[in-house]
Structure 1
């Protein structure tokens, strides 16, 4: 139980914005993605690389999981980004547009060649139809890959779809990614919500993501952190029920049939209850402020 790490809220922060990197030290998110890709202009990328790597190596972010998103493998910046990120030794390196198991293996080999610390894992962004169709192969390609990150904006573009409430156009792809993550024992994070002023829409999408089975959500604004933290944490009633199930299970050992509040309890219910309490305890172990 002790190795579980909450990833309810994982916030993108532009590596080129020094004030944002400073502010991130006090934002109560579970994780940070210091971004060198979409949020950074081409002429600012070298300076952003230096700043993000220095921030990741600083140890100034408390219990927050600190990752660096490099530019994609087909860009001019990728090789230098990856080398610098490996030297900085963040908790993870996030790579966009990972479409195959071979791509994962090339990244893992490159990380080893750059002497990335063993604790630095790989997070793969899957954001194209090809990636969705090969999600299980991608997820199973290496133990160093620990997290799948949904790139829903790119997926909408690639599908010629639209952003609509309920995300019906994306559900087949999201489902494939979730199946792949659960089949291979990986974490899977939902994509971002673009309208930072639409609180109701954001919270509805958080609830949908939790109901679908995502471990947490990637975010684009600090104002979204509280909602994601609340949505992806077990409720008080869920925690109470989980404790009741485990107590009933323990007390009913040897009796043949165990019930709780009139419902039969089986091993699968016990496993679900244990997971809820594992998440609850891990969240509770975070320092005040969420990190």
Structure 2
């Protein structure tokens, strides 16, 4: 299991930020060629990001590159350049259909991208939300859906309010699509980097909904995000008791077991084993590589 609790965007044009990320406790890094880069800096940022990926300075962290959108003048050159250096993933904004996914997949293959380079599709429009199942099932190369909540809220003309009621339908539809297709899914960014309480509350909400992690815009958001999306000690201990009780029952030929006064079924055992696998994966990741 590869944890994706915290996925931090880094501006591709900012050499200092790319260097600083070597010491940050993010599960994954997205080197950004899109929103964080001004038009006149696109080509320089592309060169810098590709050089960084090729140098592999980030240890065991998952490294992705966000290219410019399919409908932009920079997209094709971004994909060709990124394919040559082979990051773990290519993040593509404003994916709107299965055809978009296959177009990116074909372009990466044509440019010689290695097999380990997957596609992450950003869901940022009402049309994409309504086609989320189609997008998620478009290709085995696509492994992650990423919610682009800022653009989505703009397209919906939704207000930004605590609890995100205007976005919950979209978030849930995309979560359903990801799980039905067996893909991971990341929540969108939280814009107010000074509002630590609001950010943590949104992390808790995302985890309760079922998201694997959250995309971030500031290193100060890493600690609460990693903590919230990791199993707590109490959850790990309960999971161990569930698995142990189940294995004992199987050995004794018993079909019904209880843990802490509650009946345990196979689905609870599967959930417990997933908690333990995630806890082990998180434990294996040092705070800094």
The two structures have a TM-score, normalised by structure 2, of: 0.98
- Could you tell me which of 120, 130, 133 is aligned with 2:130? 133
TM-superposition CA deviations, 1:174-197 (whole Å, max 9, x none): 001000000000000000000000
TM-superposed deviation, 1:88: 1.2
Gaps of 5+ in 2: none
Q: How does 1:97-136 map to 2 (within 5 A)?
A: 97-136=94-133
TM-superposed deviation, 1:256: 2.2
SS at match of 2:207: helix
SS at match of 2:22: coil
| Aligned residue in 1 for 2:287 | 289
Alpha-carbon separation, structure 2, partners of 1:189 and 1:16: 24
**Quick check: 2:5–2:229 contact (8 Å CA) kept in 1?**
yes
- Could you tell me which of 143, 154, 157 is aligned with 1:160? 157
- Could you tell me which of 83, 87, 91 is aligned with 2:88? 91
Gaps of 5+ in 1: none
SS at match of 1:252: helix
SS at match of 2:215: strand
| Aligned residue in 1 for 2:68 | 71
TM-superposed deviation, 1:290: 4.6
TM-superposed deviation, 1:106: 0.7
SS at match of 2:13: coil
Q: How does 1:217-228 map to 2 (within 5 A)?
A: 217-228=214-225
Q: How does 1:98-247 map to 2 (within 5 A)?
A: 98-247=95-244
TM-superposed deviation, 1:131: 0.5
| Aligned residue in 2 for 1:9 | 6
SS at match of 2:200: helix
TM-superposed deviation, 1:259: 1.0
Alpha-carbon separation, structure 2, partners of 1:89 and 1:121: 9
| Aligned residue in 1 for 2:268 | 269
Alpha-carbon separation, structure 1, partners of 2:225 and 2:54: 26
TM-superposition CA deviations, 1:60-114 (whole Å, max 9, x none): 1001101000000100110111100101110000000000001111111111100
| Aligned residue in 1 for 2:53 | 56
TM-superposed deviation, 1:34: 0.2
**Quick check: 2:23–2:288 contact (8 Å CA) kept in 1?**
no
**Quick check: 1:30–1:290 contact (8 Å CA) kept in 2?**
no
The two structures have a TM-score, normalised by structure 1, of: 0.98
Structure 1 runs (4+) greater than 2 angstroms displaced: none
Instruction: State how many pairs are aligned.
Output: 287
SS at match of 1:125: strand
